[in-house]
Structure formats: structure tokens, C-alpha cells
Amino acid sequence: MKITLLDDDSIRLEPTPGALTIEALSPDQSYSPFHMLGSSLATCTFSVLHSWASHARLDPDGLAIEVSWTFAEDPHRVAGVRMHIDWPELPAERVNAAKRVAEMCPIHHTLLANTPVEMSTGAR
């Protein structure tokens, strides 16, 4: 798989042979925690769609996921996420099913659930 940093607020995940690679469109871009968050959602969604495709006898080769986000301030954070499933080979009559399957991604559910985060400091 390859993750491409499209901008400071977007990534694209697409299948490639070999190990996972992370690429940037410009040399001054770095893989930020926000890119990591988008990558986790894209990878999870890709995984559930790829699995479904194999069971539904669909060709997943052209499947790619793009994730973008907007920022909010005070404190600086992600305000919203937008995901695009790019799958040209997907038959039109299977699009709604693919959307339902994509929503089964556990990362998707985690983001929707407003999951609390507990923090501690010091030695355990």
C-alpha cells in the first residue's frame, strides 16, 4: 500500500505491491499526526472494503481511499473529516452497499463515538 500526502489536510491510500510506503508531493511535507489519523481511517476502510469485495466477487484492484479534514482552533484539532472512496470498477448497483460496508470500519465508529482519552503521567 502507498499513502500519499496530498496536502497538510489530506492523504490518499492506494494499493501497491510490496511494503507500505508513505510519500509526499513536495519535499518539505512531513507525515504529521493528522496525516496518521487520516491514514488510520483510510487503512481501516480499505481493509473492510477489500475483504467485502473478495466475498462479493468484486475486483478491488482499483480501490483507493482519500481522506481530508478541516481544522478548528482553541485548541488546535480536527473539526471534521471527509472520506472519498475512489473505485472506478465498482458496479453502480453496489455503491450503496459499499458505503454501508465502509461505515463498518472500527476507526470510523471510534471517531463517531467521541471516545474519551484518559491520560496519566509519571512511573507506573
The whole-number pLDDT of residue 33 equals 97
CATH label, 2-112, candidates 3.30.300.20, 3.40.50.300, 1.10.10.60, 3.50.50.60 = 3.30.300.20
Cβ(54)–Cβ(32) below 8 Å: no
Beta carbons within 10 angstroms of residue 74's beta carbon: 5
Q: What is the pTM (predicted TM-score) of this model? A: 0.92
pLDDT: which is higher, 14 or 123: 14
Q: Reply yes or no on whether the pLDDT at 124 is more than 80.
A: no
Convert the pLDDT of each residue in 91-101 to its tens digit. 999 999 999 99
Convert the pLDDT of each residue in 24-82 to its tens digit. 999 999 999 999 999 999 999 999 999 999 999 999 889 999 999 999 999 999 999 99
Q: Which residues contact 98 (CB under 8 A, 6 or more apart)?
A: 49, 52, 85, 87, 90
Domain ranges for the chain, please list them.
Answer: 2-112
